[in-house]
Amino acid sequence: MAYTNSSLITYKNITKNRTSPRYHVIDTITIHCYVGQVTAKQGCDYFATTNRQCSSNYVVGYDGSIGLSVEEKDRAWTSSSASNDNRAVTIEVACDPTYPYAVTDKAMTALINLVADICKRNNIKELKWKADKSLIGQVGKQNMTVHRWFAATACPGDYLYNKHSYIAEQVNKKLNAVSTVKYSSDIKSLVDKGIINSPDYWMAQQNNLNYLKALLNKLAKASQSKKVNSFGNVRDAINHLVKCKVIDTPTYWMNNYKKIKYLDNLLISAANHIQFDYLVQVTASSLNIRKGAGTNYAVVDTITNKGIYTIVEESKGSGSSKGWGKLKSGAGWISLDFVKKI
């Protein structure tokens, strides 16, 4: 594996505090707090001159500067764990000297850009954070770790620790990673609503979509063509991928693309449904539930508790000036004249 370093660095001072080369492929990110609002230069210079056996691959300064202290091909001495530091890129971020060890917005922005760059170059497709120490090493579930899991230390400080979800989210946006978790919950909601009935099938399509998107992004980057990236010209993009020998089954991918388009439309329609749900409180002491949206439909039950109900759909219908609302329970429809939104 040929390792590279980030082109985002503004300073470089390689320290002797390292083990060369690392023995594990890079699949983890470990963010630390460098106590004190230093620049990247100050941080790197410290690691290069100190007698203490410590270092990190990168240092992010309070001013957004980024320094290289240990090349990515080598293991830095950062996290009190050889197994962690051999597989992780470690980053020290300048922070306040006191609790909660906050970092500046400039440092946060630089950190997010740096982590996204590290992930891209090392083929980490998605950053995953569960705040769960028991998942150390299970990089398919969680590929961020923190120093406090390996030693009695407050590092990375509560400020950065609590920002880990945010950092992962922002980095994933840059990586164009679609969260599998989010999609599986969307697909579940489609199943719940009876729009689709084979979640495994659609999850598999979603995985194809992720793969295809990653390929298209790669292609767009190579060709600098926004046209291709927009999915507006998928047939051309897929043909180009074939030509570049990235994929070899254009028909398979075209078919997948059609299915994926269908799934995307379903997800949008589901999202519309989800956003539509709202709560109402019944204001009448007795309110009929009807089989359909209108007084011409049979009464199936009566609400007498002035309770709170969820409306999932609206419809016009006879006998109600504000229209009719469908109850989430599936019991039927109620007149919106006798409820108030809460």
Positions that interact with Zn ion (CB under 5 A): 32, 147, 155
Q: What's the closest the beta carbon of residue 36 comes to Zn ion, in angstroms?
A: 13
- Closer CB to Zn ion, 15 or 288, in the complex: 15
Q: Are 85 and 17 in contact (CB under 8 A)?
A: no
Q: What's the closest the beta carbon of residue 203 comes to Zn ion, in angstroms?
A: 37
Residue 278 φ then ψ, to 5°: -150, 165
How many residues make up the chain in this entry?
Answer: 342
- Closer CB to Zn ion, 159 or 231, in the complex: 159
- Closer CB to Zn ion, 32 or 326, in the complex: 32
Residue 38 φ then ψ, to 5°: -100, 165
| Helix-helix angle 199-223:180-192, to 10 degrees | 140
- Closer CB to Zn ion, 32 or 128, in the complex: 32
- Closer CB to Zn ion, 26 or 155, in the complex: 155
Residue 215 φ then ψ, to 5°: -65, -45
List all residues 6 or more positions away from 107 whose beta carbon is below 8 Å from its beta carbon. Answer: 60, 61, 62, 63, 64, 93, 94, 95
- Distance between CA 1 and CA 172 in Å, rounded? 24
Q: What's the closest the beta carbon of residue 278 comes to Zn ion, in angstroms?
A: 47
Kindly write down the DSSP assignment for every residue of 254-279, as one continuous string: HHHHHHHHHHHHHHHHHHHHHHH-EE
- Distance between CA 126 and CA 103 in Å, rounded? 24
- Closer CB to Zn ion, 91 or 260, in the complex: 91
Q: What's the closest the beta carbon of residue 276 comes to Zn ion, in angstroms?
A: 47
- Closer CB to Zn ion, 84 or 335, in the complex: 84
- Distance between CA 219 and CA 229 in Å, rounded? 8
Q: What's the closest the beta carbon of residue 33 comes to Zn ion, in angstroms?
A: 6
Nearest by Cα to 143 from 176, 113, 168:
168
Q: What's the closest the beta carbon of residue 58 comes to Zn ion, in angstroms?
A: 13
Q: What's the closest the beta carbon of residue 78 comes to Zn ion, in angstroms?
A: 6
Interior/surface letters 286-310, b for 16+ CB within 10 angstroms, e for the rest: ebbbbeebbeebeeeeebeeeeebe
